[in-house]
Chain A
Amino acid sequence: MPRKSEPYLLLAPAYLLIGGFMLYPMVSVVLLSLHKYQLTDPLDRPFIGLDNYRAILGDAHFLESLANSAVWVGLSLAAQFALGFALSLLLNTTSFRGKGLYQAVIFTPWAVSGFLIALIWAWMLNGEFGLVNDLFLRFGLIDTKIGFLSNERTALLSCVVANVWFGITFFAIMLYAALQAIPASLYEAADMDGASAWQTFWRVTVPMVRPTITVTVLLRAIWIFNWADLIWVMTKGGPGAASQTLALYVFQKAFIGLDFGYAAALGVTLAGLSLAFTVVWLRIGRFHEEASA
């Protein structure tokens, strides 16, 4: 039985597609990062080895952006995952008339384009005409209007809130689908064994959705890390550099500073950090031992 080649055959379309279109770009980015490549200096493109990377280590803006990225990813991810999981559990345990409609509405944020989310939230958080200010004032939570996006401490947090509004949906949908795939028989078995709701949750539910959790959290973390347009439209990285994340910094260096070599090195660094996180995370999730049979 030619079983050995089967997985490779099944993966062949994916290999062809990704190899065909992504190999050249990714290799060229790495090569670019080893050169001096300033768009306005087309004749001066020497190979400079790791000089770009050395420059990164000494770049205060890089470190600042990295710190912001850590907050950006950490807070957004934690909140989205927790709330999204909660929502998926709520959906999984209930059935009511109009549930289909409810689901259609509750999943809508995912269908809104990134820059639109940024625009809507930026406006709701507007210091002069913002909805949030109005509500907070009416409920007596604040005395004077707050400039959420113009205050250093709240600028990045405001972006996080917009991100969470969007991202809860992702986890809710993915985890809901995973919860739905759990065979009812397992619950019946646990019930017959006299397990409590809490025990059932940890002994049946969580292990069954664990592969989904591992993958969704990982991917969402990587996406948030790389996501620039939400922050770009909301605050442009301001005020000062309060909401400037690494992804934004890369965009700036490439398309405003016109330093493609340095931007490539930043991109590779970003990818390297994501890779490190991935390796650690997959180990924690015991991912590779999950394959059954």
Chain B
Amino acid sequence: MSLSVLSRRSMLKIAGGAMLGAMLPGCGGSGGSDDRPALSLITPLGGSKDAALARLANQYNEMQSKVRVVVNPVPWDLAHAKLLTMIAGGNPPDLMMLSGMWMAEFRAMNALEDISPWFHNWSGKDDFAPLALQRSRIATAIVGDTVFGLPFEVTVRAMFYQKKWLDELGLQPADTREQWRTLLEKMTISDKNRYGYALRGSRGGFWSWWAIAEEYASTNEWFDADHRCIINSPDHVKGLEYWNAIFQDGLTPPDSINWGYTELVQGFWSGVCGCIEQDNEVVGTCVEHGMDASTLVTAIMPAGPKARVTSNDIWTFAMSSATKNKDAAYAFFEWLLAPEQAISYAREVGVIPPVKQGFSDPELSSGFYKPFMDMINDPTMLQNWYPNYLPEMGEFVEVMVTREQQNMLLKRQSPQETLDKLADFIQAAEKKYVDRYGPDTPRPPEKIG
């Protein structure tokens, strides 16, 4: 009886060959013949931002010979989990880009280097715009004199509209929430598969309705003088009711209860929804998908009954406390955050740079970007705020709020009940914080800068 082809010997051959093959491509991570020490930068933002950072890194690598900056992109959906794994597993990247919300977590994990001594001696710090520094303080990247992270991007939200739909109705972007609601109703023609609004029913929906709640309550406070959480006040509830009504009254697709980051924007540029509120970089996404001045118009956020709210936020650069190349990292920071590079990056990807010159940059204030810049520079607007310093905010926004707001959209509970539950959660987190660090908690900003 003859042996079959897959005898043990042949299999060993296959295994051996495969092992040899394994030694060829993709063996190690630090490819190339470059001998310089590497400075790794993890970036979670995807697409054009990764490309822009890679371009800047290449430029820097060619300019000097001490170190090689390596940009390592990681898929957005798992970026936070990957950073946590790297840090908890003892192999953190040298540099990272962190959202305003992740700052507090990473600081609490002792994962970040205190870069204050260098910062206070750096002349470039005077280039930062007051708003950028203020938001850094809010995000706890800067606490008093201690600095853990530096702002790199400033983001702000504005309203996006389907211009064609507005033209058909002979209407303009709304200035008040009342007008806005009417606009949504007029834009909704469900037979034509048209809905007024792209509601963010899933992760991140908090940012939408919280701004409206602040508009109704005309305050960005979360706690009273006794550190009791007040986000379930009658005015706040009215704000949430307004948002809930958009869904219940069918002004947004029923599927939007599950819409998160990607589905939301997709719902807009695909022509299903007439309006969304989103960050400045989404302009780029819309343009990529074929929208132009005849189909897209952006406008500043409408005013609620008591206030007009602007949702500013930042993305920061931070250094790992375990990095071995601190001096090289500082040198890179000084270059990257200089106005020239910061503005060039911002122009490429459609964000606002953190430097003063950027706030009056003509290119960044034109066309679709104008409303964003206007809001950033408007001192009369109420600034959106949330208690960033609480490490539980991540779980709050991603998990807790998502679940409770969906239960509300499913009509399982009322807006009041929803806010009560959320207030309880935050209350407990605040108490824990106060017990540990004392009653002097960070306060919300009264105005810009």
Contacts and interface: CB of A to CB of B under 8 A. Distances in A.
Interface of A: 39-42, 126-129, 147, 149-150, 152, 235-236, 238-241, 252, 255-258, 260
Given A39-B105, A147-B255, 14 more contacts: A126-B255, A127-B254, A128-B253, A147-B257, A149-B258, A150-B201, A236-B203, A236-B402, A239-B201, A239-B409, A240-B412, A256-B399, A258-B105, A258-B395
A128 B272 contact: yes
A174 to B, nearest CB: 18
A133 to B, nearest CB: 10
A41 B395 CA distance: 15
Nearest to B394: A256
- Which bucket holds chain B's interface residue count? 20 to 34
Contacts of A258: 84, 105, 391, 394-395
Interface string B124-146: 00000000000000000000000
Given A39-B84, A42-B109, A256 B398 contact: yes
Given A39-B109, A42-B109, A150-B257, A239 B410 contact: yes
Interface string B390-412: 01001100110011001101101
Nearest to B272: A128
Give chain B's interface secondary structure class: helix
27 contacts: A39-B84, A39-B108, A40-B105, A40-B108, A40-B391, A42-B108, A42-B109, A126-B255, A127-B253, A129-B270, A147-B258, A150-B201, A150-B255, A150-B257, A150-B258, A236-B258, A236-B260, A238-B202, A238-B258, A238-B402, A239-B258, A239-B409, A240-B410, A240-B412, A255-B80, A256-B399, A258-B84
B203 A255 contact: no
A78 to B, nearest CB: 26
Contact of B254 (A147, A252, A257): A147
A155 to B, nearest CB: 8
Contacts, number: 79
A239 B406 contact: yes
Contacts of B81: 255
A233 to B, nearest CB: 8
B72 interface: no
A127 B407 contact: no
Given A236-B203, A236-B258, A258-B394, A241 B403 contact: yes
Nearest to B106: A40
A128 B257 CA distance: 13
Nearest to A235: B258
Interface string B326-355: 000000000000000000000000000000
B171 interface: no
Nearest to A149: B258
Nearest to A155: B258
B193 A128 contact: yes
Interface in B299-322: none
A150 B254 contact: yes
A186 to B, nearest CB: 20
B202 A252 contact: no
Contacts of A42: 108-110
B403 A255 contact: no
Interface in B62-104: 80-81, 84, 88
A147 B409 CA distance: 14
3 A-B pairs with the lowest CB-CB distances in the bound complex, closest first: A127-B255, A40-B108, A40-B391
Contacts of B84: 39, 255, 258
A235 B80 CA distance: 19
A129 B266 CA distance: 12
B255 A252 contact: no
Contacts of B202: 236, 238-239
B434 to A, nearest CB: 16
Q: Which of B110, B255, B398 has the most CB of A within 10 A?
A: B255
Contacts of B253: 127-128, 147
A130 to B, nearest CB: 9
A152 B410 contact: yes
Contacts of B258: 147, 149-150, 235-236, 238-239
B431 to A, nearest CB: 15
Contacts of B193: 128
